[in-house]
């Protein structure tokens, strides 16, 4: 096990004088404090002691029913036995790895990918097969090639964040999603679809989730309330076939018995009242503005030779600098200038990508976004010379 570089980094970047594009946190201004205040008091009145009691390991029935309605609108058909509520989607990643991975089993994942997933999977000692990405996500042709001739186990899986990926911001178009599913069918693989960000779309048209096209239970779909409601609630869920969900439930019993009951009741009332939809509209407006400020600032201050993604949603922009710049070294200089980011190699299982960086745009005041990018641009310019 290795400490997550990001968590360590957050300790530095949480100093208030530092403009941090480092973490992946929502804006504190986005949290619906007043509504949650009202709902939590109502939960205590309405559900009383039951809301403070242990609850079923697979999650509150009422909340799962609300989730079924919500995902149904996205074309995902499921019933109560297909859902397990988890303590954040991070737990879903851990539980999946726990029940499926034996040492040396293969996990196919994007290069780069969500660092928290790497940290969760590492504990179970898989054999990673990294797959490169382009502007349209994982190169499924490369996946197909790499699968050839492997002596595989039945529980190997592909981990993908197909929409507004953390860390790159890139989205996989429909055709590639279909190709991925085809490969899974042909190769008897299963797909772990981590859909943390699809609610946060600022431009372009929404794309069907892989799960919504999954006819033969090849996909375990993971979602979280962290990006829209509150990461402090630690609430996520998995939708998958009954058998795998049952196994996850057994694994969760050993991990924490159940997800926080009180918080589940709050989330249930929050979904039922429709407040979540208003909340998403509010956040989209706020984050779209922040994304646009960051993109404009990059255009203005980053020197020629730098490139970056232009995400239609999510929380991150991924920048690639000229190859003679090492973003690890740049990080130390940036901290002296009171600005932070995460170096891109942290998100790659092959440790490459020395000239890349992840920039988060959701957790910085609008004005400070431009100031921070200007400082970084100046530093990069200096290094290039």
Ligand X SMILES: Cc1ncc(COP(=O)(O)O)c(C=O)c1O
Cβ closest to ligand X, residue 25 vs residue 284: 25
The residue count for binding ligand X (CB under 6 A) is 14
CB distance 193 to 157 below 8 Å: no
Is 114 a residue that touches ligand X (CB under 6 A)? yes
Q: Which residue in the shown chain puts its C-beta closest to ligand X?
A: 88
Q: How far is the CB of 302 from ligand X (least distance, A)?
A: 24
CB distance 306 to 357 below 8 Å: no
Cβ closest to ligand X, residue 96 vs residue 166: 166
**What's the CA gap between 264 and 60, in Å, rounded?**
7
**What's the CA gap between 40 and 136, in Å, rounded?**
41
Omega before residue 112 within 30° of 0, cis: yes
CB distance 264 to 60 below 8 Å: yes
**What's the CA gap between 260 and 196, in Å, rounded?**
20
Q: How far is the CB of 238 from ligand X (least distance, A)?
A: 11
**What's the CA gap between 259 and 137, in Å, rounded?**
32
Pick the closest to residue 158 from 118, 85, 106 (CA basis): 106
Cβ closest to ligand X, residue 23 vs residue 126: 23
Rg for the chain, CA atoms, rounded? 21
Q: How far is the CB of 32 from ligand X (least distance, A)?
A: 17
For residue 132, the SS3 value is strand
Cβ closest to ligand X, residue 105 vs residue 193: 193
Measured distance between the N- and C-terminal CA atoms of the chain, rounded to whole angstroms: 39
Is 264 a residue that touches ligand X (CB under 6 A)? no
Is 137 a residue that touches ligand X (CB under 6 A)? no
Kindly state the DSSP code that residue 201 receives in the 8-state scheme: B
Is 90 a residue that touches ligand X (CB under 6 A)? yes
Pick the closest to residue 330 from 300, 359, 361 (CA basis): 359
- Span from 55-63, 86-94, 295-303, 317-325 in contact with ligand X (CB under 6 A): 86-94
Q: How far is the CB of 8 from ligand X (least distance, A)?
A: 16
- Span from 10-18, 30-38, 224-232, 243-251 in contact with ligand X (CB under 6 A): 224-232
Applying CB under 6 A, which of residues 32, 126, 236, 313 lies at the interface with ligand X? 236
x/- site string to ligand X, residues 9 to 48, per CB under 6 A? ---------------x------------------------
Which H or E run includes 130?
Answer: strand 127-134
Backbone angles phi, psi at 177, to 5 degrees: -60, -40
Q: How far is the CB of 92 from ligand X (least distance, A)?
A: 8
The counts of H helices and E strands in the chain are 12, 14
Q: How far is the CB of 322 from ligand X (least distance, A)?
A: 28
Q: How far is the CB of 39 from ligand X (least distance, A)?
A: 20
Q: How far is the CB of 188 from ligand X (least distance, A)?
A: 25
Query: Which of the residues 153 through 212 are near ligand X (CB under 6 A)?
Result: 161, 166, 194, 196
Q: Residues in the site for ligand X, rule: CB under 6 A?
A: 24, 88-90, 114, 116, 161, 166, 194, 196, 224, 226, 231, 236
């Amino acid at each position: 096990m290795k400490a997550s570089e990001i968590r360590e980094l957050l300790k530095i970047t949480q100093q208030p004088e530092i403009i941090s594009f480092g973490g992946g946190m929502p804006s504190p201004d986005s949290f619906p404090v007043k509504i949650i205040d009202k709902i939590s008091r109502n939960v205590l009145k309405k559900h009383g002691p039951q809301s403070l009691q242990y609850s079923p390991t697979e999650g509150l029935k009422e909340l799962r029913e609300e989730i079924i309605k919500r995902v149904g609108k996205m074309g995902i058909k499921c019933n109560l036995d297909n859902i397990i509520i988890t303590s954040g989607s991070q737990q879903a990643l851990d539980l999946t790895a726990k029940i499926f991975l034996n040492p040396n089993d293969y996990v196919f994942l994007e290069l780069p990918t969500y660092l928290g997933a790497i940290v969760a999977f590492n504990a179970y000692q898989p054999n990673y097969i990294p797959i490169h990405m382009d502007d349209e996500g994982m190169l499924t042709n490369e996946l197909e090639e790499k699968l050839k001739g492997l002596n595989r186990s039945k529980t190997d899986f592909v981990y993908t964040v197909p929409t507004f990926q953390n860390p790159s911001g890139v989205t996989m178009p429909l055709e590639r999603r279909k190709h991925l599913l085809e490969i899974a069918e042909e190769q008897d693989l299963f797909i772990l679809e981590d859909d943390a960000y699809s609610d946060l779309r600022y431009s372009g048209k929404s794309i069907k989730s892989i799960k919504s096209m999954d006819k033969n239970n090849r996909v375990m779909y993971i979602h979280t309330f962290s990006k829209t409601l509150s990461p402090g609630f630690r609430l996520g869920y998995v939708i998958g076939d009954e058998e795998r969900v049952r196994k996850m439930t057994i694994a969760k019993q050993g991990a924490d018995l159940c997800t926080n009951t009180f918080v589940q009741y709050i989330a249930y009332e929050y979904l039922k009242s429709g407040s979540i939809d208003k909340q998403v509209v509010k956040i989209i407006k706020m984050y779209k503005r922040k994304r646009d400020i960051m993109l404009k600032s990059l255009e203005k201050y980053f020197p020629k030779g730098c490139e970056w993604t232009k995400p239609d949603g999510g929380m991150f922009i991924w920048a690639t600098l000229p190859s003679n710049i090492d973003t690890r070294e740049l990080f130390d200089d940036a901290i002296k200038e009171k600005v932070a980011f995460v170096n891109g190699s942290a998100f790659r299982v092959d440790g490459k990508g020395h000239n890349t960086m992840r920039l988060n745009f959701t957790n910085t005041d609008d004005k400070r976004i431009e100031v921070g990018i200007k400082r970084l641009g100046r530093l990069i310019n200096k290094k290039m010379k």
